[in-house]
Amino acid sequence: MKDMRIAAVVCRAPVGDIDHNLAQTRHWTRLAKSAGAELVCFPELNLTGYCNQAEMAAIALPYPGPETTSLSDLARETQIIILAGLAERNPHGLPFASQFVFWPTGEIEVYRKLHLAPNERPVFAAGDTVPVFHAPQAVFGIQLCYDGHFPELATAMTAKGAQILFLPHASPRGDAQTKHQSWLRHLPARAYDNGVFVVACNQWGANGKGLTFPGNAVVFDPAGNPIASRLSDDEGLLVVDLKASAYEAVRSHPMRHFFPNRRPELYT
């Protein structure tokens, strides 16, 4: 791993207001670039907005489509990696909750949410692959909100080489401090057990469909320590330098790096 400056966005994403959300994605991407970030991560479904109602099927966007082409052009223009989310049209059924990786080269990759909350299952289809993504600075994985509650997924991504896990959220209810305390129950464990950085960010504000999101973001180092957080009732950026030295401090220590001592043959 090499040092990597990342930006985690906290923003409002009204459901179905694609033009507004696309304009905000451009705005925050350019701000992240001006802050020196090499990667910018947006909340879950920031482009379409998020709700757990049947209308998400009508709001879902095609891939490829004009919106994904626009963000691919933006990544090329700004030379920053963009992780942006949308409800992705599925020709075989319900839409996917997807987070796209737009590379400065013009390449596009996608992560489709694997674990759907019970109230999401009538609305979305689950993905069925566990990808990791190879940036020049680091290998990273993506998990969407409810995915973060399943230790096996973080383990699988780490086994595939992930050094950073990005967790975009659309997690409503409570204020930012309450949501932060909730995240402190499980996200540090994903970092600590696997020796990886964990970056989480949430939507903020009312979505126009009855949900309100607290605006928070947090970053944990590979020892499970919170190294930066943003707990504020508004939109904004959390810009953090992920240091290779912090990663190596855990990975090079025989008593702090647990992952090589797993015995997966016992767990099946």
Question: Where do the H-state alpha helices sit in the chain?
Answer: 18-34, 56-59, 66-78, 151-159, 176-183, 187-194, 244-251
pLDDT for position 233: 87
Q: What is the pLDDT of residue 120?
A: 98
**Residue-level pLDDT at 173:** 86
What pLDDT does residue 50 have? 98
As a whole number of angstroms, the distance between CA 184 and CA 147 comes to 15
CA distances from 45 to 97, 121, 137 (A): 7, 16, 25
Dihedral sign computed on CA atoms, order 25, 31, 34, 37: negative
What is the per-residue pLDDT for 121? Answer: 98
Residues 71/37, Cβ–Cβ less than 8 Å: no
**Domains assigned to the chain:** 4-256 (3.60.110.10)
For every residue of 169-193, DSSP letters joined together read E---SS-HHHHHHHHTTTHHHHHHH
pLDDT, tens digit only, all 268 positions of the chain: 999 999 999 999 999 999 999 999 999 999 999 999 999 999 999 999 999 999 999 999 999 999 999 999 999 999 999 999 999 999 999 999 999 999 999 999 999 999 999 999 999 999 999 999 999 999 999 999 999 999 999 999 999 999 999 999 999 989 999 999 999 999 999 999 999 999 999 999 999 999 999 999 999 999 999 999 999 889 999 999 999 999 999 999 989 899 999 999 999 8
72: helix, strand or coil: helix
